[in-house]
Amino acid sequence: MNGETDSTLSLLDSVPFDRNLTRRQLLYLLGAAAAPSRLWWPARAERDTAASRVRFVDVARHSGITFRHDNAASPEKFLIETMGAGCGWLDYDQNGLFDLYLAQSAATPAYQPAHPLRGALYRNNGDGTFTDVTERAGVGAEGLFAMGVAVGDFDNDGYPDLYVCGYGRSRLFHNNRDGTFTDVTERAGVANAGRWASSAAWFDYNNDGLLDLVVANYVDWSPRRNFYCGDRGPGLRSYCHPDDFNGTPPALYRNNGDGTFTEVSAASGLGAKPGNGLGVVTFDYDDDGWQDVFIANDSMANFLFHNNRDGTFTELGYLAGVAVGMNGEPEAGMGVDAGDPFGTGRMDLVVTHLDNQLARLYANQGGGLFDDVTVRCGIGYATFLMSEFGTRFMDYDNDGRLDVFMACGHVLDNIARYKSNVRYAEPKLMFRNAGGGRFDNVSGELGGDFSLPCVSRGAAVGDFDNDGDLDILVSNNGGAPQLLRNDGGNANHWLELLLIGAGKSNRDAVGARVRVEAGDRVLTDQRKGGMSYQSAQDPRLHFGLGARAAADRIEIRWPSGGRTELRNVKADQILAVEEGKGIVPRRFPRAAT
C-alpha cells in the first residue's frame, strides 16, 4: 500500500465506533487524513522520559481559593448562564508573584441569589497559598454578569489594570499602585454599553506606545428575547443556538493617552460587520511589525483582521484560509491562541469548537496563507465528541516544543438526553508535540485532577510558583475553579522573559517578537494580546530548552522597531528585559509549594 492509504487505515483504526457518526463526516475525516500537505513533515520524534513524569495537581482549595462560580442557572435557560466565565493572572502589587482573578455572574430576572455575587481577586502569598483581597482592592464588580478578563497597563505606569467583560456592559478598574483599584469605566469610555462582551485583548494597534482595547462581542440576546428551545417535556428545554439571534460587531477602543478612549470600531473597519465573537487573540501573522486580530466566531466564519498600518483593518479570514475549516463549513469557534509549534518562525492558530466538530490547527504557510492541518497533525478525531473552550499553546514539559492544551465542557446541561455519547462535564485535553509535525494525546497520563470531568470555560496559563514550569488556572461554569500545578515539568531546562517596553513601545511590550537560539533549537514567540477564552495569561514569555543549559542568543524586536540582543544566557531563570537597557534587576521569588 502507498503512504496515503496507510495513514487513512491508521486513522480508521483509531476511531471508536460511533453510531451517530454520519457517512459524510466519516468520509471527511478519512479524506482529510489522506490529503497531501503543503508542509514537509519530518520523521516523528520519540517520547522523552521527562514528559512521562509530569502531573498536574489541583491545589486550588489547598491554596485557600474558596471561590465558586454561580452560573445563575434557571428554568428559563438564559443563554448567558452557560457561556461564562473567565479568569486571569496579574501581578497587581508588582512583587514578582502572580495573583489571580476569577469572574462571576450576577442576578437575573429569573435568578435571585441569596447574597450578592462578585468576582474575586486572590493575592499570591508566595508560600503556596492565596488570600482573597477582593474587598480591599475594590474589584468585585458586583451587579455585572461578568464573562471575560483582560489585563494590561493602559497608562504605562508599571502596574497592570483590569478590564472585566460582561453582559450589557463592561468595567475597567485602574490600578492605584497601593493595592486598590478605581472603577474608571465611565471616564475612560469603554463600558461597551448594550453589548454582550465575551473576551477582550489589550494591544497597540497603531504603534503609538499606548495599549488599545479590542472587544469580541457575542450575540444580541436579552431576557425579552429568550425563546423556548429544545423539545417540550420535563428536562428537555435547552439553551438556544446562537443562530437564533443577530450577531454583534467587535469593538475597538483607541487609547487617547489621557485616561480616555475613543471608539473607532467603524472607522477602523474592525466593526464593519456583525459576528458571534467569543475568543480573541492579537498577533503579527505576517511579521510586518503590526499586530493583527483574530476573532473566533460561534457558528459563523471567523474573522482575521489584517492591520493596514494606517489605523484601519481589512478582514481576510476566507482569503487567508482561517474563516472555516477544510470542510468549508462555519463552526462553533470559541477559544483561540497563536504560536509556533512547528518551528517555522511563523505564528499558527488553534481554534476550539463544539462537539461533532474538530478543534482546528491552522499552519501559517507564509505569504498571508494558512493550511488546515488538524487531522494530519494528530489532533483530529480526539476532539470530535468534545466541546473545547479555553486553549493555549504551552510547553508543559519544557522540551522545546509547544504542546496544545484545551479546557472542555458542553454548553447544554441536558446534552446526554440528546446525544448518548456526549457529556456535559468533560475531561481536559493535552496534545504533546512529538516533533515531526505530529501531536500525541497524553490527556490520560497527566493525573486524576487533569482528567476530572468539569464544565470548563476559561483557561489561563502561568507560572504562579515561579519554578519554571507552566501551571493552569481553569474557571468552571457553575463550579469551583481548578489551579492545576505542574509537577515535574521543570525537569528540563527553561527560560522566562518579562519584557518591559520603553520610549515608543507600550510598557507591556505587546507586539514584541522574540527569537531564542539554543544549540540546534530555534524558538520564536510574540507578546500577544487576548488568547484562550475569556482569560488573561501570564505576560512572561516561557521557553522550554530541553537538555540545553543555556540560550546562545536571544533577539527581541520591540514594537518601536528597536532591537535587543542577549548572548550566552544561562537557563533556569526568570529575567526582566527592558528596551534600551537589556537585563534589569527584578525579583521573582520562588514560591514554597
Residue-wise pLDDT for 58-112, tens only, equals: 999 999 999 999 999 999 999 999 999 999 999 999 999 999 999 999 999 999 9
Quote the mean pLDDT of the chain: 92
| pLDDT above 70 coverage of the chain, percent | 91
Label the pairing between strands 573-578 and 493-500: parallel
What torsion do the CA atoms of 310, 349, 81, 274 make, to the nearest 10 degrees? 40
Backbone angles phi, psi at 283, to 5 degrees: -160, 165
pTM to 2 decimal places: 0.93
Question: What is the Rg, in whole angstroms, of the alpha carbon atoms belonging to the chain?
Answer: 22
Contact 403, 397 (CB under 8 A): yes
Mean pLDDT of 135-144: 98
Mean pLDDT of 31-58: 56
Lowest model confidence (mean pLDDT) among 3-7, 68-72, 404-408, 482-486: 3-7
Contact 197, 170 (CB under 8 A): yes
Q: Is residue 407 reached through a cis peptide bond, with omega within 30 degrees of 0 on the bond before it?
A: no
Mean pLDDT of 240-256: 97
Contact 392, 456 (CB under 8 A): no
Distance from C-alpha of 467 to C-alpha of 494, rounded to nearest angstrom: 10
Q: Looking at residue 346, what is its pLDDT? A: 98
Contact 143, 157 (CB under 8 A): no
Mean pLDDT of 214-226: 97
Residue 316 vs residues 294, 305, 480: alpha-carbon distances, Å: 10, 6, 39
Contact 59, 483 (CB under 8 A): yes
